[in-house]
């Protein structure tokens, strides 16, 4: 298999190390102290995330040689190290796969032109008002020769791209409504038609950036220093924070004044571990019938409607974001009791047996990269829960993944959905539903409210699971519609 990676020439010619970056930042700091007429920008936010103490993120990159190498390679290829990568650095194995996939999707040969790829990324991220990703891809769009007029609004883009508006909104909010007729309209639009190979590339881009918006909001990612809203020329505040702090680990306000956290729930982890043990014992003793399993799925699907997020007020998107997509009033809707939404049974259409081969056939090798990324996120474990070692977390990971798919009307016949209510408490469900439904409404309070005894790295892992489960759910509906059109 041909893996996506940085070009050999680029990597061989680059000798920039993290030590070199630190030296450059130190020179910037010295320069900023001299009256030489140079304005030095500094980050607006304290570190890569509003939710995670900067010192914890920096500690990972300092202590793990593998993650240092990944960061250096990413910087050599892109000329930057974005805050998403810094937060994903808690999990080097996943980050490596993620960056490889991104490189293949955005930079390697493929059906779509480079500037169209970034513009579609803008459209997808804007659907969730994710200014972080929008700004990132606006910069990349212009760097690869994109027409600045397109950035004035979707109506300024070519008709062929405007036609993706319907697909973008349905996939982002109600992917179960996607039909082969939607696909047919895109493939048979005369001079504005998309090819099947192009459409597969489009679908992967849209689903990736919808789900990456969830991760961005869920981790409280701060704007990168080189993007709009990510820097300031004002004098440093009391914290003494400057452009160099992200590299050299200078103290932040949290380090100076202490990180005041919400008091932890006593025994939270032990209670969860005991429930996992009891469920495993029940499995060993007796297995529910297929009829009971189906009933439990329907019950969980119905109950997911009753999980009301605490941030349910309307968020009106700004013109800067909404100009990149159509119909801002269109949003996520639960499965209504009066409206029959057929369940997608994984046994009838799955990623492993159907979606993978379709992507790989129309976009060679990329199905393998996607599959690797899904598998790493799903199977990633260090056999720990908070301070406990040698813990089998597979049951908990599966409950999280299957709960998200349940919200999308996707059912696994061999899974007992009664486990979800046992393992996922209400505050966690509120967080998950908000992440999947309206990630732009995630707050630090919501992030802090679940798994209060767990480490930040474990919460980042949860967000990786949410991101990949959501992406796969959207993909399944899109690829099923394409398959139905083809047959």
Catalytic site positions: 130
Q: Is 384 helix (H, G, I), strand (E, B) or coil?
A: strand
3-state secondary structure of 439: helix
Q: Is the dihedral of CA 372, 378, 382, 383 positive or negative?
A: negative
Q: Which of 119, 109, 214 is nearest to 168 (CA)?
A: 119
Q: What are phi and psi of 345, to 5 degrees?
A: -85, 125
Burial 428-450 (b: 16+ CB within 10 A, else e): bbbbbbbbbbbbbbbbeebbebb
How far are the Cα atoms of 340, 400, 407, 420 from residue 343, in angstroms, in the given order?
9, 19, 10, 18
Q: Residue 333: helix, strand or coil by DSSP?
A: coil
The length of the chain in residues reads: 487
147 with 235: CB under 8 angstroms? no
Question: Do residues 338 and 172 lie in contact, with contact meaning Cβ atoms separated by under 8 Å?
Answer: no
Contact present, 412 and 405 (Cβ < 8 Å): yes
- How are beta strands 344-345 and 410-411 bridged, if at all? parallel
Contact residues for 361 (Cβ-Cβ < 8 A; gap 6+):
367
According to DSSP, the residues that pair with 388 across neighbouring strands are 385
Instruction: Compute how many other C-beta atoms are within 10 angstroms of the C-beta atom of residue 85.
Output: 20
Contacts of 121 (CB under 8 A, 6+ apart): 106, 133, 137, 205, 209
Whole-number Cα distances in Å, 246 to 90, 129, 225, 253, 419: 16, 26, 10, 13, 41
* Residues 6+ away with beta carbon under 8 Å from 377: 94, 464, 465, 467, 468
């Amino acid at each position: 298999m041909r893996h996506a990676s940085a070009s050999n020439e680029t990597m061989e010619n680059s000798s920039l190390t993290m030590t070199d970056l630190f030296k450059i930042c130190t020179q910037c700091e010295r320069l900023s102290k001299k009256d030489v007429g140079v304005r030095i920008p500094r980050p607006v936010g304290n570190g890569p995330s509003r939710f995670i103490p900067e010192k914890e993120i920096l500690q990972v990159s300092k202590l793990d040689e593998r993650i240092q190498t990944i960061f250096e390679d990413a910087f050599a290829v892109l000329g930057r190290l974005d805050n998403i990568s810094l937060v994903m650095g808690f999990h080097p194995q996943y980050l490596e796969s993620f960056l490889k996939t991104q490189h293949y999707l955005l930079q390697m040969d493929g059906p779509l032109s480079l500037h169209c790829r970034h513009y579609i990324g803008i459209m997808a991220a804007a659907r969730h008002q994710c200014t972080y990703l929008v700004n990132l891809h606006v910069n990349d769009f212009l760097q690869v020769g994109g027409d600045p007029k397109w950035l004035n609004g979707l109506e300024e883009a070519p008709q062929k791209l405007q036609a993706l508006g319907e697909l973008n909104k349905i996939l982002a909010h109600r992917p179960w409504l996607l039909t082969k007729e939607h696909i047919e309209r895109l493939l048979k639009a005369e001079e504005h038609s998309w090819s099947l190979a192009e459409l597969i590339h489009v679908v992967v881009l849209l689903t990736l950036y919808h789900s990456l918006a969830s991760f961005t909001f869920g981790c409280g990612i701060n704007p990168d220093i080189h993007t709009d809203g990510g820097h300031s020329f004002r004098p440093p505040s009391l914290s003494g924070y400057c452009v160099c702090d992200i590299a050299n680990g200078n103290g932040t306000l949290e380090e100076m004044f202490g990180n005041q956290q919400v008091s932890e729930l006593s025994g939270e982890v032990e209670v969860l571990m005991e429930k996992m043990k009891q469920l495993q014992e029940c499995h060993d003793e007796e297995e529910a019938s297929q009829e009971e399993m189906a009933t439990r799925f329907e019950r969980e699907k119905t109950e997911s409607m009753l999980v009301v997020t605490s941030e349910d007020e309307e968020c009106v998107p700004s013109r800067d974001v909404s100009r990149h997509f159509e119909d801002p009033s269109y949003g996520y809707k639960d499965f209504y009791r009066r409206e029959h939404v057929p369940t997608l049974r994984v046994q009838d259409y799955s990623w492993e047996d159907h979606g993978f081969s379709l992507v790989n056939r129309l976009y060679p090798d990329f199905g393998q990269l996607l599959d690797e990324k899904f598998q790493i996120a799903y199977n990633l474990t260090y056999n720990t829960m908070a301070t406990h070692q040698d813990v089998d977390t597979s049951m908990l990971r599966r409950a999280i993944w299957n709960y998200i798919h349940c919200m999308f009307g996707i059912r696994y016949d061999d899974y007992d959905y009664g486990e979800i209510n046992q393992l996922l408490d209400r505050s966690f469900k509120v967080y998950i539903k908000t992440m999947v439904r309206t990630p732009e409404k995630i707050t630090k309070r919501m992030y802090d409210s679940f798994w209060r005894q767990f480490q930040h790295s474990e919460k980042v892992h949860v967000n990786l699971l949410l991101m990949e489960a959501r992406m796969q759910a959207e993909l399944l509906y899109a690829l099923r519609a394409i398959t139905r059109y083809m047959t």
